[in-house]
Amino acid sequence: MSNLELDSQSAWLSREHLDEARDRLPILYVDIVPVRVDERGEVTAIGLLLRVSDDGRITRELVSGRVLYQERLRDALLRHVEKDLGPVALPRVPATPQPFTVAEYFPTPGVTPFHDPRQHAVSLAYVVPVSGDCAPQQDALDLAWLTPREAMDPNLLADLDRGHDILLRQALAHLGFPI
């Protein structure tokens, strides 16, 4: 079976097994900052999802999700971009994807700037250019494309939850934008 043919049913944990695993060990995630680039490779826009949080607030988020058992990181990146931005987003994951940072989420607020009340998670964060038509999928309400300057607006950053504002600032710094 090739890596692209990963059997997600056998790689997926039941709700009970996932809850048990979350209680015992860190879970691996990817966080993705989708970007549009021009013909010179310069970032022209950054994509942010609009969602309703568990407590009913409207928040902005990055593309994010778990890495499945026996799934390559590049396949997890492609799967989550497709899941959140649609099947024709056309992500361009480099041959050797390198995260711009590692974020460690804790269920206890304040341990790190990253918080996930469900679990201890370690997330590798990537910037991924997309060139196709993107549309919000699943439970996302909207997808907004913002210029890097707009993405640095303090009011917009305040709408990002769970530490995603910090990841977005780190991504912009990694891309060479002054923060």
Residue-wise pLDDT tens digits, 16-45: 887 787 777 899 999 999 999 999 999 999
What residues make up the domain containing 62?
26-174
Q: Over the stretch 97-121, which tens digit does the pLDDT of each residue have? A: 999 999 999 999 999 999 999 899 9
Do the domain assignments include residue 6? no
Checking if the pLDDT of 9 tops 70, the result is no
Do the domain assignments include residue 34? yes
In the chain, the number of structural domains is 1
Burial class (CB in 10 A: 0-12, 13-18, 19+), 158: exposed
Do the domain assignments include residue 13? no
- CATH (domain of 99): 3.90.79.10
SS3 40: coil
